[in-house]
Amino acid sequence: MGSKMTDNTLARWTRGLDAAAISEVDRRAVATTENARASVLEYSGADALHAWGVLGRMFADADASPTLVARTVHALAAARSGEPLPGAASEARAFGAQEDALAEAALLEAFVAAQREAIELRMADRWRFPRCVVRIDDTTAAVAASFPNDDADALGRWADEVASGLAKLGVRRVHVDGDRAAQAALADALSVAGIDLLRPRHLR
121's CB contacts (< 8 A; 6+ apart) are none
Indicate the pLDDT class of residue 200, thresholds 50, 70 and 90: low
CA distance 72 to 55: 10
Record the pTM: 0.66
Mean pLDDT for 44-68 is 94
Helix, strand counts (H, E) of the chain = 8, 4
The predicted-structure confidence for 78-130, as pLDDT tens digits, reads as follows: 998 855 444 433 333 434 678 889 999 999 999 999 998 888 888 878 888 99
Mean pLDDT for 139-144 is 94
The pLDDT value recorded for residue 85 is: 42
Q: Specify the 3-state DSSP secondary structure of 62.
A: coil
| Residues of the chain above pLDDT 70, percent | 87
67's CB contacts (< 8 A; 6+ apart) are 20, 22, 26
